[in-house]
Amino acid sequence: VKPVLIAPSILSADFARLGEEARAMTEAGADWLHLDIMDGHFVPNITFGPSVVKALRPWSALPFDVHLMIGPADPYIPAFAEAGADRISFHPEAGPHPHRTVQLIRSLGKAPGVVLSPGTPIAMVEELLGDIDLVLVMTVNPGFGGQSFIESQVDKVARLREMIDKAGLDVRIEIDGGVTPETAPRVVAAGADTLVAGTAAFRGGPAAYAANIAAIRGNG
Ligand code: DX5
Ligand code: ZN
């Protein structure tokens, strides 16, 4: 069994002090930093692009887990790789050729991941499972932090875990959206091994980050 990794989403950080926030989360014991990239087109919100990822790079030695909510994704992937992304996940609906997107991320030496929105079936990633490092299962609709956990996705996680294990593959299952100390144990029991948390990780400010992470990990 893989240890559960915690990836705080800086979407919930203080955007005026992003560098300090990334450093504080790193010192608080986060495993990865999750960076949500939104284009106002694929999702109804806008965040930041490669230049902010690059500016953050000196503030943390943790893997940068870049979640692209942009369409199309391919034209921007080299810029995110160059900016310091270690893992790059994309939504297959951003199209048009998800397998080509996986090849592109691999060719840049980064770890590819495919994201399933709540309404997106497992079938969208099935043919790619042998070529990717991670499936990110969204437990909210993409676009905003602070939404509530969509319960129906727990069963999807269990079905995906079964599929991955049956095929003998080494693919992580990451959960994103509404992860709290209450919802985390349920998705972990269903087979998730990596948890993104925005609101639950950043609440209370820097003095609370270590306790927040411990609580999500189940050591609270
Ligand atoms: C939503 C983002 C999430 C978001 C999660 O589109 O992908 O990473 O930051 O925020 P919480 O944990 O507050 O649901
Ligand atoms: Zn995300």
CATH assignment at residue 97: 3.20.20.70
pTM metric for this prediction: 0.98
Q: Which atom of ligand 1 is nearest to the CA of 34?
A: 8
d(CA 178, CA 194): 14
Q: How many domains does the chain have?
A: 1
As for the ipTM of the complex, it is 0.98
pLDDT of residue 143: 98
Q: Which residues pair with 67 in a beta bridge?
A: 36, 89
Residue among 76, 109, 105 nearest 88 (CA):
105
Q: Specify the ligand 1 atom closest to the Cα of 138.
A: 7
Q: Which residue has the tokens 């840049």?
A: 108
pLDDT, position 219: 81
Q: How confident is the model at residue 16, as a pLDDT? A: 98
Judged by phi (left if over 0) then psi (alpha if -120 to 50, else beta), residue 116 lies in beta
The predicted-structure confidence for 30-74, as pLDDT tens digits, reads as follows: 999 999 999 999 999 999 999 999 999 999 999 999 999 999 999
State residue 144's pLDDT score.
98
Residues of the chain with pLDDT under 50: none
Task: State the amino acid at position 61 in one-letter form.
Answer: A
Catalytic site residue from 31, 36, 39, 133: 36
Ligand 1 centre from 144 Cα, in Å? Answer: 6
- What is residue 80's predicted lDDT score, i.e. its pLDDT? 99
What is the DSSP code (8-state) at residue 141?
A: -
Instruction: Show the domain range for 138.
Output: 5-217
